[in-house]
Structure 1
Amino acid sequence: MQNFNKLVLLFFKRFFIVLFLYQVCRLLFLYFNYGSFKEFNFVTFLGGLHFDLSAIAYINLLFALLHFLPGKFKYSKRYQLALKRGFFIVNFIFILTNFVDFEYFKFTGRRSTFGLITASGMENEIGGLLISFLKEFWYQPLLAIGLGYIFWKIIPDAKHFSKDIETTNHIGKQSFLSVFLLAFVFLFARGGVQTKPLKIVDAVKYGNTTQSALVLNTPFCILKTIGKKETLEIPKFYSEEELNRVFNPITVLKSDSIANKKNVVVIILESFGRENVQHGQTPFFDSLIEKSLFFENGFANGKLSIDAVPSTLSSIPSLMNHSLITSSYAVNKVYGMPKLLKEHGYYTAFFHGAFNGSQNFDQYCNVAGFDSYFGKNEYVGPEAFDGSWGIFDEEFMQFFSKKMTTFKQPFFTTIFTISSHNPYTIPAKYINKFPKGKTKIQESIAYTDYALQQFFKSAEKQPWFKNTVFVLTADHTSSEPTEDKFSTNVGKFRIPILLFDPSNPSIVKKSMKNFQQIDIMPSILDYLNLPSKMISYGKSYNDKRDFVVYYLDNIYHYISNDYYLAFDGKQSIGLYNFKKDELLKNNLIQNESEVKVKLKMERFIKAYVQSFNDRMINNKLTLQ
């Protein structure tokens, strides 16, 4: 039994060495993303241990078995060397997944899942991006190599096995202990003796919603999502009749006025978050604000580019862990501006300067009903490949302008820019032309603003310009906030959204209405006086309602008037007056004077989620 006991002790020594390395990774994650986690405390790290133990136990169940199996074969040098090497390789691979989020978290605002790491639609860009990422984040491979070297050196070896004679009695005891110890490790893996195994959403128990990513680790998030398709469940908060009284997505737009069939141009600007606007980096965009209907409280529906397209063009919020485009519901029938405007005689086209197939936008365009898709393959113009993503914004936007001149009016077009995406490459001729700003992205933001200015200079000369309404929105915020208020779960979704009609100065104003990407589709149809009946989870700019809904880290985030509510799918976990408390320091969830506000908001978000899940699961996003 002495040899068996040595192996049991050896396994747990190795197990807790891995646990220590997970703490090192958490500290590195905190170091690289400190701006997002300034309010962490001891409880945050205590919660982290809970999730680390679970992940490590899942990963090492097989190694536990291989250490605990009865039998003399375990004591051979060859077996023990293979066991050590296997333990090192498997655990080090999972440890390295934490390194992904040292930088990737800045873009997504959450820990990476299996779906994020293996997302399709990037096959053509991966080579150029990998080289640029290794150049920019050169220190990460060095850190990884250093950590790997230390890990290998401190893994204890199996030594000095005695020549015990293993009797049947010994084998019996070892078998019993093996089962007991495996059950013990499995208990770690499921997170304890509670009714249900530990889940990603349980991270909110160890702090406010902004600390969840620090509590979690990337291996746990990958393990909990590996091999799983997006599968929603329909909560039963309300009967169908009551549900429709609280929230009904069927939107009917009627008009007594004559339809105004202007051309519509939607410009989605990569990473053009609110934190980058009106701070000296975007002089042209700032000037456009003064000529437009500008939504001061504009919000994105997601943290990824792939979320922005269905939200902006189909009024479908991103309320899942996968984007609609890559989820199991990707081929659901949906309304979209292309289909709705085609009913009124519009020609429709989508432009994206990246490689064709990038982000699966071409697939979405087919589902949404666009007549044409123009990507890098269709680009005609001066050589302008950026070396990573596709065509630089200036040249591609000129191509966009010229191409629209060939379209029959009225037309509806969308362009998605690319140059203000990591690695933030700008043409060599413009190096040092634009202000560097406070963060890495801001020079490329300034370049895209210049490209936008050149586009409008060109467009102004075209015969279609004055008969066109332009909508400009960011896809999401950028990776590094410039102020603390942009690090909160409200601030990290703030984006600029404006509607510019060069022939209608009467709409020029700054609106304080809470407005997000899913509001764009009904707003355009309303503005054009086009009678429509559709499923929309947003509302028109003329609507009296003042709500915004988005989703991150398994939490539903709901804004109504001055209040922000965090809802975990079953109960509210945070309530804030975000206009008075921009840093979300004062949680009002237990405040008796705010009970009515909480209950009213809770009632709405429950209905909103139930309606969304039901229609998504049952493919009821269009009217029969």
Structure 2
Amino acid sequence: MIVIIYQLCRLLFLFFNRNAFNGLTLKTFLGGLHFDLSAIAYINIIFAILHFIPGKFKYKSGYQKGLKIAFYVVNLVFILTNFVDFEYYKFTGRRSSFGMITASGMENEIGGLILSFLTEFWFLPVIALVLAFAFWKTIPNIKLVFSEEKVNYLVVKQIGLFLFLIGFVFLLGRGGFQKKPLKVVDAVNYGSISHSALVLNTPFCILKTIGKKETLESPKYFAEAELNSIFNPVVATNPSERQTKQNVVVIILESFGRENIQRGQTPFLDSLITKSLFFENGFANGKLSIDAVPSTLSSIPSLMSSSLITSSYSINEIYGLPKILKDNGYNTSFFHGAFNGSQNFDQYCKVAGFDTYYGKNEYDGPEAFDGKWGIFDEEFFQFYCRKMSSFKQPFFTSIFSISSHNPYKIPEKYKGKFPKGTTKIQESIAYSDYALKQFFKTASQQDWFQNTIFVITADHTSSEPTEEKFKTNVGKFRIPILFYNPGNPTFGGISYRNVQQIDIMPSLIDLLHIKTNMITFGKSYQSEKDFVVYYLDNIYHYIQGDYYLAFDGKKALALYNFKNDELMKTNLISTEKEKAATMERFIKAYVQSFNERIINNQLTVH
């Protein structure tokens, strides 16, 4: 019965995320069965031992009743973790790990968010209750009868049966006779890489990450000299022009995926794009908010299963924008309107070297708590503007908006003012765009405005894309990235180069004409390099020029010309072997460099 329930959960997962999966085959579901049997075996190996262990005690009705209750409770808990991903997958693009299920870094707000989640998705608890009832009713009441066979024969028989069955359960758990136990990344063997989340189940992903800190290993693809000749993140800038001493403001907009721009939901941002240097091919380096901050402000991509901020490498020394600009006379600060401690941003700010962190606790203004998450964007952006006017110039400051985050609340006074759009998030996107407009209206009247470079981007794309091109492994990372310099009206235009969050730091260093030595995994927008790298579902995704490559750490899986083949239907891995080999060589060097520097705490240049 448990196997059937896991299949039902997979079908429910597919139903709730049906827009994310196309071109499914039987192989995908057979792969799913493989992972289900592994998870079920791991979860129930203790019950197999307790049920088959030799001895008279197991024939007692009380023992069997206790075993049944424990079996039911433990399995039900794991089964219900699938229900989290029925909706959460829309935001993360991957199955939940142990850290995501336990809401690491979101302890303060999780209570309100869970209540909001249960209210909005009330049908999920209802389905869960029906499933829980059916599961209990199908578990038989096993009545074992002690045999009167000769004791010696009975003991030998029980030991033999015990060893055989435990061995069988263990074999199911490891996934078969292959050299290494089944891993999350093995899901790519059962169809398209975009189907991995459907092949997997949440209990399996939790079991593979429970109690584990993120630990990286060097793949040792290349010797050091060859590695650095392919990719070297050490950059030394030596500008010929004098440092500008302009203020820097980096605005990170929650869930402002590229699809939401220029669809009528963001009229102000649309107008700002026309006055800015806008990157048509802008990409996020992760799918979670917690990934975006190190990427955007420290040029460190998210190439691990957990975020750098919550990993065992979270206190590695970092020399990113806060420290570089502080060393050049800047006052530095970070603003986030959610509960202090949310997503460990305050901890990151200390490691990154910000002078000051401003969260919900530091907010000073009209009552504007949304009741769930933090301070509404309009009021917090105004607070942000007031604080900036009190800072000594030059200053570097960053703000992370919150209102376009689930549960997508907007103030009562604005109900009906903004277009609803076609998905749940879009009304709150329109509200946040309005809040941004009000911020710039106030900021434009301040004496520091004309001497400020504004960078506006998103943390990641939003859930439930409606256009097919935003459902691919390229499209689901597309975000707006723009640089606005009001003091220089000639600075602007549209660039079609591939630009990512980790490119923001080196780009600003170039714009400000700062001399420094730094570690950056990105490149300046002025560079001739044209690459983007991100990581999802244990796959490295690499864009170079017009091409996209999927790499699993050992071999290239797929190659597409994503600009000509926007929906990525024609895999060129076997027809453009030279291109695939060249791109594979670069991504290997990139991953090795990242892993070794994270492991050895070498994110600074001494």
Matched letter for residue 181 of structure 1: L
Map of 2:162 onto structure 1: 178
Structure 1 distance, partners of 2:16, 2:148, is 51
Q: 1:543 aligns with which of 518, 524, 527?
A: 527
SS at 1:539 equivalent: coil
After superposition, what is the alpha-carbon deviation per residue over 1:64-121, rounded to whole angstroms, capped at 9, x for unaligned?
A: 1122122332222212211211111111111001011001111110000112112422
Give 3-state SS (helix, strand or coil) of 1:505's partner. coil
CA distance in 2, matches of 1:533, 1:159: 73
CA drift at 1:489: 0.9
Partner of 1:611: 593
Other structure's SS at 2:111 match: helix
Structure 2 residue 235 is the aligned partner of structure 1 residue 258: no
Give the distance between the partners of 1:412 and 1:166, measured in 2 at CA: 83
Secondary structure of residue in 2 paired with 1:388? coil
Distance 2:117 2:206 in 1: 22
531, 541, 546: which one aligns with 1:557 = 541
Residue equivalent to 1:622: 604
Match of 1:203 in 2: 187
1:166 Cα shift?
A: 5.0
The SS at the match of 1:566 is strand
Q: Which residue number in structure 2 is paired with residue 93 of structure 1?
A: 77
Please give the secondary structure, in 1, of the residue aligned with 2:490. Answer: helix
Contact 2:59 2:144 in 1 (8 A): no
1:138 Cα offset (Å): 0.5
CA distance in 1 between partners of 2:33 and 2:168 (Å)? 16
Aligned 8 A contact 2:103 2:110 in 1: no
Question: Normalising by structure 1, what TM-score?
Answer: 0.96
Secondary structure, aligned partner of 1:524:
helix
Residues of 1 paired with 2:150 and 2:362: CA distance?
A: 74
**Separation (CA, whole Å) in 1 of partners of 2:147 and 2:545:** 76
Amino acid at match of 1:299: F
Whether 1:108 aligns to 2:99 is: no
Aligned to 1:364: 348
Query: Is residue 105–residue 310 contact of structure 2 (8 Å, CA) maintained in 1?
Result: no
Query: Counterparts of 1:216 and 1:509 in 2: how far apart (Å)?
Result: 43
Q: Whole-Å Cα distance in 2 between the matches of residues 466 and 170 of structure 1?
A: 89
1:255 to partner: Cα distance: 1.3
Is the contact between residue 246 and residue 607 of structure 1 (CA under 8 Å) also seen in structure 2? yes
Equivalent position to 2:126, from 142, 146, 151: 142
Q: How does 1:455-466 map to 2 (within 5 A)?
A: 455-466=439-450
Structure 2: gaps spanning 5 or more residues: none
Alignment of 1:48-59 (within 5 A): 48-59=32-43
Match of 1:352 among 336, 341, 365: 336
Structure 1 moving runs of 4+ over 3 Å? 159-166
- Partner-residue secondary structure (3-state), 2:495: strand
Deviation at 1:506, TM superposition (A): 2.0
**Equivalences for 1:547-586 in 2 at 5 Å?**
547-586=531-570
Deviations 1:391-445 (CA, angstroms, capped at 9, x unpaired): 0000000000111011111100000000000000000000010000010000000
AA matched with 1:47:
G
1:335-356 CA deviation, whole Å, 9 max, x = no partner? 1111101111111111110111
| Counterpart amino acid of residue 488 in structure 1 | T
The C-alpha deviation readout for 1:207-254, integer Å capped at 9, x for no partner, is 111000000000000001111111000011111000110001011222
Give, in whole Å, the separation in 2 of the partners of 1:47 and 1:548.
30
CA distance in 2, matches of 1:211, 1:23: 15
Quick check: 1:316 aligned with 2:320? no
Mapped partners of 1:238, 1:71: distance in 2: 57
Q: TM-score, normalised by structure 2?
A: 0.99
SS of the aligned residue for 2:583 comes to helix
SS state at 2:496 partner? strand
Deviation (angstroms), 1:162: 6.6
Aligned: 1:154 with 2:112:
no
In 2, Cα distance between equivalents of 1:190 and 1:260: 59
Partner SS state of residue 443, structure 1: helix
Aligned to 2:484: 500
Spell out, residue by residue over 1:293-326, the C-alpha distance to the aligned partner (whole angstroms, 9 max, x if none): 0000000010000000000000001000110100
Provide the C-alpha distance between the structure 1 equivalents of 2:199 and 2:104, rounded to a whole number of angstroms.
Answer: 28
1:3 alignment partner in structure 2: none
| Shift, 1:43, TM fit | 0.4
1:381 is aligned to 365
The AA in structure 2 aligned to 1:179 is L
Contact kept? 2:250, 2:456, Cα under 8 Å: yes
Structure 2 counterpart of 1:241, from 225, 237, 262? 225
- Aligned partners of 1:160 and 1:609: how far apart in 2? 56
How far residue 160 of structure 1 moved from its aligned partner, in angstroms, is 7.2
**Match in the other structure for 1:192:** 176
1:242 maps to amino acid:
E
Contact preservation (8 Å) 1:268, 1:473? yes
> Contact between 2:59 and 2:143, CA under 8 Å: does it hold in 1?
no
Tell me how many residue pairs correspond in the alignment: 606
**CA offset digits 1:506-527 (Å, max 9, x no partner):** 2211100000000000000101
Q: Distance in 2 between matches of 1:156 and 1:489?
A: 45
Partner of residue 514 from structure 2, selected from 530, 539, 543: 530
Q: Distance in 1 between matches of 2:507 and 2:225?
A: 27
Quick one: distance in 1 between partners of 2:409 and 2:382? 18
Distance in structure 2 (CA, Å) of the matches to 1:155 and 1:580: 54
**Paired amino acid for 1:462:** Q
**Hey, what does 1:587 align to over in structure 2?**
571
| Corresponding residue of 1:292 | 276
In structure 2, give the amino acid aligned to 1:610.
Q
Q: How many angstroms apart in 1 are the aligned matches of 2:73 and 2:293?
A: 39
2:107 is matched with which residue? 123
- Tell me if the contact between 1:72 and 1:166 (Cα under 8 Å) persists in the aligned partners: no
Is the counterpart of residue 217 in structure 1 residue 201 in structure 2?
Answer: yes
Amino-acid identity (%) = 69
State the distance in 1 between where 2:532 and 2:263 align: 25
